[in-house]
Chains A and B, each alone.
Chain A
C-alpha cells in the first residue's frame, strides 16, 4: 500500500510526518536539528530515501544536511556557497548599490533523475548546483549575471531565490522566481536566462510593468503541462499558457489576491489551490477565517474550502513554500502555518484535519508519495 511522507521545516527544527495511504493516522518524528531554522527539506524524485535539508542559524550560519534513509538519520555535507567571480552589487532598499552577500539557502530542488544532483536557491538571490550529493556547490552564474542583476532589490523578507521548477520533458529548461526581481527561464540548463514577467503589473515599483522588479511569491506547474504556469504574486494570481512569455490575471472572485503559496492538483492540471491573505500589511486570513481556495477551471472561478479549518479568530499565515500535494489517486493537499499547525486533506481539499497542531512556525512543507 502506498505511503505518504510529509517533510516540515520550522523555525526550530525539522519534522517528518508519515502515514499510510488512508492518511488518517500520522506518526510524527522530530525535531531534527532542534533549535535551528529549517528553511526547506525536499526528497529526491529519483530516490525517495535521499532527502536534503537547509539548516541555518543567525549564530552559526548555513548547513546542508543529507539523509539516505528517508529522514531517519542525517549527515552534514557541503555548506560553502561562494558566488562565481567578483560578486558585484545589487540594489539595496535605499536604492544604493549593495554587495552580493550569501545569507541562507531558501529552497532545495533535487534533480528529477539523479539523486546526487540538487539545486539550491539562495539569499542574496542566486542559483547553485551540486552534482555530488551536496558536498560541493557551484553557482549557475548566468542568472545573477543577467543584465538586470544590478537592479534587483530585496523584498521585505530578503532577496531570495525561492522557487525552482524543472521541466520534466526538457532537462535543459527550468524556471526560477526571485523576490523581488521576478520570474526567469533558462533553455540551456542554466547557462543563460531571460526574464519572463510580461503581463505582470506591480503598483509598488516605479514602473508597474517593468521587465524585472516584481515580487513573485511562488510559481507552480503541473508536470504534464510544462507550458502552463500559475503564479501567486505579491498581489494578483496569474497564469501563463506560453511558458512565461506572457501572463494574465486569474484572481477572479478571490476575497483578496494577496498570498504566498500556490499549487496544482496532482491529476487535474486545471485545479489550482491558493490561500488568500488579507494584505501585504496584515499577514493573516481575511475575516480571521482560514480558507483554501480551489479553482477547477485554471483560475478566475474560485471556491472556498473550509471544512475542518478554523473559521473564527484565526491569525496565522501560510508561507510560500508551505503547501504541497501528494499524488495518490485521491489527491492529498497539505499546508503548514506560522501557528505551527499542519493541515491535510485526503480528498483534494473538501475536508481538512490537523495532522499536528503545536509545532514551531512552519517555514516549508513538502510531500513524498511512496510506493
Chain B
C-alpha cells in the first residue's frame, strides 16, 4: 500500500484522519498514485490536479523522502521507500500568507 499524507483541507474534504493508504498496481509514479487516490476519494478530483489536463495545481506541492518532487514528470518513478510503504507521499499546500 502507498501511504499518502493530505493537507488539512483535503483531509476534511475526504473525511479522513491521518494518512490515506491506497493500493497501486504497476509502476509507482505521481500519476498512478494520484489516480488511485482520486478513484478512492472522488471528491478530491480537481483539487490536487486540474480536471482534463491533470496538471498539478500551482499552489500544491509533492514531497517525499525529504525531496521536492513537484517538478518531476508525472510518470517518473517515486522513491523506493514510497513504493514499499516505508515513507509517505506528501501532498502539501504551498506556504503562503501574511
**Chain A residues packing against B (C-beta within 8 Å):** 35-36, 57-63, 76, 79-80, 82
Contacts and interface: CB of A to CB of B under 8 A. Distances in A.
B51 A60 contact: no
Given A80-B51, A82-B51, A82-B52, A62 B46 contact: yes
Nearest to B47: A60
Nearest to A60: B47
Interface of B: 7-10, 13, 43, 45-48, 50-52, 57, 59-60, 93-94, 96
A36 B52 CA distance: 23
Main secondary structure of the interface of A (DSSP, over half): loop
A152 to B, nearest CB: 23
Contacts of A62: 46
Nearest to B60: A59
28 contacts: A35-B9, A36-B9, A58-B59, A58-B96, A59-B9, A59-B59, A59-B60, A59-B93, A59-B94, A60-B9, A60-B10, A60-B13, A60-B47, A60-B48, A60-B57, A60-B93, A61-B46, A61-B47, A61-B50, A61-B57, A62-B46, A63-B13, A63-B46, A63-B47, A76-B43, A79-B47, A80-B46, A80-B52
A57 B9 contact: yes
Contacts of A61: 46-47, 50, 57
Contacts of A76: 13, 43
B5 to A, nearest CB: 15
A57 B8 CA distance: 13
A58 B59 CA distance: 7
B96 A80 contact: no
B48 to A, nearest CB: 7
A204 B52 CA distance: 37
A80 B54 CA distance: 12
Contacts of B57: 59-61
